[in-house]
Chain A
């Protein structure tokens, strides 16, 4: 595997479910990010981790819970989501916080 991978690629869940998104980067980068991409809207930064430490929580509702066990892996735990949370969730990584970001393919999330 190369670059940034995300699993699952597609996820359908009910509002009472709990699920997790996984991201893995094989680039040796130190920073990792979660973004939300909704139709007709710009990418929205959700969380930033640098050397496993969270440096940014962009006013994200608590029903989204990130976890970064090491510099290569990033998770987004989901619970009690709303239909408006349906979107493409993108993971990205960069060598450091100021370098260009490399994105994964995304997880298409649908909340019923």
Chain B
């Protein structure tokens, strides 16, 4: 069974204080790993898809990286508007290979 574990559950940062969120996964064969951002009262917003170990993608202050066992979402010099819950999901190869298995998310709070 595919599993996704995100850590920490919650993270508080001061504005400008860089850090990383972790997504560890267990999957029979990885087709893709997805990062989403979710603001309170809203649906998840797509950020990145990573397909193979060593791949990196960047968007503004966010950079996602992927290894064979985990993904990191690095946040550089965060601002208060980066506060949100960040969700990680994996999509497996084979079987119902379109289904996303989500983690519980990391709640990020950036204080001014």
- Cα A31 to Cα B98 in complex, Å, equals 10
The contact string, 1 if C-beta is below 8 Å from chain A, for chain B 10-49, is 0000000000000000000001101010000111111001
Q: What does DSSP make chain B's interface, helix, strand, loop or mixed?
A: strand
Residue in A90, A100, A108 whose CB lies within 8 Å of B46 = A100
Residues of A within 8 Å of B, CB-based: how many?
A: 21
Q: Which of B48-101 contact A (CB under 8 A)?
A: 49, 87, 89, 91, 96-101
Q: Is the CB of A45 within 8 A of B97?
A: no
What chain A residues lie within 8 Å of B49 (beta carbons)?
Answer: 100
Tell me which of B43, B98, B104 contacts A4 (CB under 8 A): B43
The answer on a CB contact under 8 Å between A42 and B104 is yes
B4 within 8 A of A: yes
Q: Which chain B positions have C-beta within 8 A of A97? A: 98
